[in-house]
Chain A
Amino acid sequence: MSAMLEVEALDAFYGRAQVLYGLELRVQKGEVVALVGRNGAGKSTTMKAVMGLLARVQGRRFFAGQDISKWSPHSIARAGLGYVPEERRIFTELTVEENLEVGRQPQRAGAPCWTPERLFELFPNLAELRRRPGGQMSGGEQQMLSIARTLMGNPSTILLDEPSEGLAPVIVEQMAQTINALKDEGLTVLLSEQNLGFAAALADRAYVIESGHIRFDGSMQSLLEDEDLRQQHLSL
């Protein structure tokens, strides 16, 4: 197996304050990897830094064997790395169909190919809302639309930032099934989560992040078995 996404010695800053310290991440092709940590640990910042959305980052990032450290976000996205932001960032004035259109990119070899119709099968709730403006949807529907919109770019890998946040338990359950379905399609996923139960149901491996440092790197199984580690870095 080859590494789809690789991050070396990643530092990130907001203004003068350093928020990420020498992060090392590796995600293999076809893997679902969880990045777990408490609120404010640096999960979303890591996602944004990988995507090239932060003004000040140091270190090197590789995607599908290419050095993307100096690439602009749109080039990174076009190379097949999709990003689903934590805040969902739906275009509220645009309809569901128009939101999907913004995400549309040409088909890519080695990645599943999506059309609006296929996405409406994956997210049946969205199918009934095609002409609804994004601003008039529930949180769960917006989360689905946000994922669907990113999938329209036919990515080979996606960065999923806290997909379960603020959703009703029944929707969280549905979301987990969807992510498993994506995994079956062959998608590589880096998933950030506060909800360890949700992450455990999906991920093969996990990184634990705290105060901008990686504190654990191993299989999901070994994280679940290490009571002390969870107490120290994850429990509230």
Chain B
Amino acid sequence: MDLLLQQLLTGVASASGLFLVASGLTIIFGVTRIVNFAHGSLYMLGAYLAVSLIDLFGGGHLGFWGGVILAMLAVGLIGALFEITVLRRIYQAPELFQLLATFGLVLVVQDVTLLIWGPQDLLGPRAPGLTGATQIFGLRVPVYDLFLIAFAPLVLLVLWLLFNRTRWGILIRAATQDQQMVTALGVNQKWLFTGVFFLGAALAGLGGAIQLPKGDANLHMDLQLIAAVFVVVVVGGMGSILGAYLAALLISLIRVLLITNAQLTFGGIAAWQMELVSMFLVMALVLIARPWGLLGRREVASDQRSGTPEPRLRPADATLRIAGGLLLVVLLGLPWIVGSYFLSVATEALIFVLFAASLQFLMGVGGIISFGHAAYFGLGAYGVGLAVRHWGMSMEVALLAAPLLAGVGALVFGWFCVRLSGVYLAMLTLAFAQIAWSIAFQWIDLTGGDNGIIGIWPPDWASSVTNFYYLAGAICVIGLLCLRHLAFSPFGYTLRAGRDSPLRADALGIDVRQHRWFAFVLAGVFAGIAGGLFAYLKGSVSPETLSISLSIDALVMVLLGGVQTLTGPIFGGALYSVLKNELISLTNYWRSILGLIIVLLVVLFPQGLAGAAESLRGRLGTSR
């Protein structure tokens, strides 16, 4: 009993930091509808800045708390600056472009942090006056835990007062519902948004600074945290601050109970192995029971789309056919033109083009946004890996295991996903990808854990760089043509009808959900094929193939190319993977350069590269 109480206290204390960061994310989303991927980065910056500032001021009372507060304000300013310089220019762009920009910021912050503070972890300073432990009901409880337990409700109260008792808060709540009307009443919405970003970023910074006495500042804390924060925000209900607190409590308690009872086993699986999975299972369960989260508002089903209608997908015209033919000739001749290094880069690019095309099919044709498409790429790779490791299968057979495992995964995950829409759908896809990742990471007996599975090589006939290039290239090109064919099949047309007007399609007797589910499985299968080829290209499989950053890579490829063009993924996938490869080989700071390029592209071409080319073609066409 005492043990349980102690675990509860630890859980509530660790919920506090999670809540601070999550509240910032939920506030930003509520008003601007932007899913801020960089929120974990702001949290990381808060931690690093606080370490340096506290060091500078000396560790006394004033030094510690002054450092924490200054770090919070500095991170707030960084967030506001990012909003002013980048996001403000792209509010009119299609949704998700803002997300790309925030991902660009993630990359830049990673490098800047590495540059300033170096690669080693920085131990957090102790909070003066709050060190040591105290006795409560005969239990030894760290004093700082008690402080954290009290701190989160305090912040909750301050936020409640801010939103309900100040003019600024009332304006924010009004803008959450109807931005345009707020503007028409004479409020400068620009500064309102900047203010929201300041507040949200400052809360993330505070979260990073306040956890220092219990932890450290390290370079992995950004993406490590962001998944948990997304879960908290979604479980609580997007936009609900109180919901975020409750969800943070729930998630933290479950995690602490699983970690501290690590030795317990359930059906042969140890409790600690379920620590990461548990969080995402909770999220999936909550979303199935309450698709808008614990305290979120139900999103009103609307059949009216704001903004311009999607450009129509057109079957290939003569120009495109010729261009495609030429491209094919170039691809066939490539081994005579370039060396083996670039040929393997090209193989990888082709694999990523297929991966991107499968996501584009899901998003552009099916209207289903996935933040976790790496799940199916990774499952494909693990399908190969497991087939080779556990059954010693040859490549010809193992490659069939890739789409099989990915397809089964998509069948299961998709059944849940197609029941949701909008940002909750996107978050659930992310959650499933994290479940897959957690299993790969923590079920070491089966998957090799962090080390992954090595020694996956093609048989002799396909082992030369040129031969594998031809093999992978042929499979990818066939895959692309299949996806293209599907988009223009009756199934594709029905899918598009469901995308553009779900209610009307439903009224016409189309089972929209079933069509989406099937599209989900198809996209998973093709991503799985790409993943299987990737495993043979690299000779190994690791949890990296299931990671958030790979899911985002796929999104970047699709968005760069343009969601609504079938040729888009070819541009986007090839460009992004070649660019990334080249940058990695050129400089240690490839992340920040890639991040800056992404931000720049988003600001300059808010329709994607193919979209920009299309509108250029349109302009030339009308002037002729």
Contacts and interface: CB of A to CB of B under 8 A. Distances in A.
Interface of A: 15, 51, 53, 72-74, 77-78, 83, 85, 89, 91-94, 98-99, 101-105, 149-150, 153
B167 A101 contact: yes
Contact of B184 (A15, A83, A101, A104): A83
B186 A78 contact: yes
B196 to A, nearest CB: 15
Contacts, number: 63
Contacts of A77: 183-186
A103 B171 CA distance: 9
Contacts of A91: 173-174, 177-178, 181
Nearest to B185: A103
A93 B173 contact: yes
Nearest to B188: A74
Contacts of B186: 74, 77-78, 103, 105, 153
B308 interface: yes
B540 interface: no
B187 A102 contact: yes
A165 B490 CA distance: 44
Interface in B168-215: 170-171, 173-174, 176-178, 180-189
Interface in B254-309: 308-309
Contacts of A51: 184
Contacts of B167: 101, 104
Interface residues of B, number: 20
Given A15-B308, A73-B180, A93-B177, 15 more contacts: A51-B184, A53-B183, A72-B183, A74-B184, A83-B185, A85-B181, A85-B184, A89-B181, A91-B181, A94-B170, A94-B177, A102-B171, A104-B167, A105-B185, A153-B185
A131 to B, nearest CB: 12
Contacts of B174: 91, 94, 98-99, 102
B468 to A, nearest CB: 49
A94 B173 contact: yes
Given A15-B308, A74-B187, A103-B185, A53 B170 contact: no
Q: 4 closest pairs, A vs B, by CB?
A: A77-B186, A89-B181, A78-B186, A102-B174
Given A89-B178, A91-B178, A74 B183 contact: yes
Nearest to A152: B185
A149 B185 CA distance: 8
26 contacts: A51-B184, A72-B183, A72-B188, A73-B184, A74-B183, A74-B185, A74-B187, A74-B188, A74-B189, A77-B183, A77-B185, A85-B184, A91-B174, A92-B177, A93-B176, A94-B173, A94-B177, A98-B174, A99-B174, A101-B170, A102-B170, A102-B174, A102-B185, A102-B187, A105-B186, A153-B186
A172 B575 CA distance: 63
A150 B185 contact: yes
Contacts of B309: 15
A92 B176 CA distance: 11
Contacts of A94: 170, 173-174, 177
A53 B188 CA distance: 14
Contacts of A104: 167
A53 B187 contact: no
A94 B174 CA distance: 7
- Interface hub of B171, B173, B174, B185 (most chain A Cβ within 10 A): B185
B128 to A, nearest CB: 42
Contacts of A92: 177
Contacts of A101: 167, 170
Q: In the complex, which of the residues A53, A74, A89, A103 has the most CB atoms of chain B within 10 Å of its own CB atom?
A: A74
Nearest to B92: A55
Given A89-B178, A91-B177, A92-B177, A73 B171 contact: no
A192 B180 CA distance: 20
Tell which of B170, B181, B184, B186 has the most Cβ of chain A within 10 Å. B186
B183 A73 contact: yes
B606 to A, nearest CB: 15
Contacts of A105: 185-186
B239 to A, nearest CB: 11
A53 B177 contact: no
A94 B186 CA distance: 18
A218 B206 CA distance: 64
Contacts of B170: 94, 98, 101-102
A153 B167 CA distance: 14
Contacts of A153: 185-186
Interface in B157-175: 167, 170-171, 173-174
Contacts of A99: 174
Interface string B89-105: 00000000000000000
The CB with the most chain A CB atoms within 10 A, among B173, B176, B178, B184, is that of B184
Contacts of B187: 74, 102
A194 B465 CA distance: 75
Contacts of B182: 102
Contacts of B184: 51, 53, 73-74, 77, 83, 85
Contacts of B308: 15
B370 to A, nearest CB: 29
Nearest to B177: A91
B394 to A, nearest CB: 56
Contacts of B188: 72, 74
Nearest to B186: A77
A153 B181 CA distance: 13
Contacts of B177: 91-94
Contacts of B185: 74, 77, 83, 102-103, 105, 149-150, 153
Nearest to B176: A93
B242 to A, nearest CB: 14
A103 B178 CA distance: 13
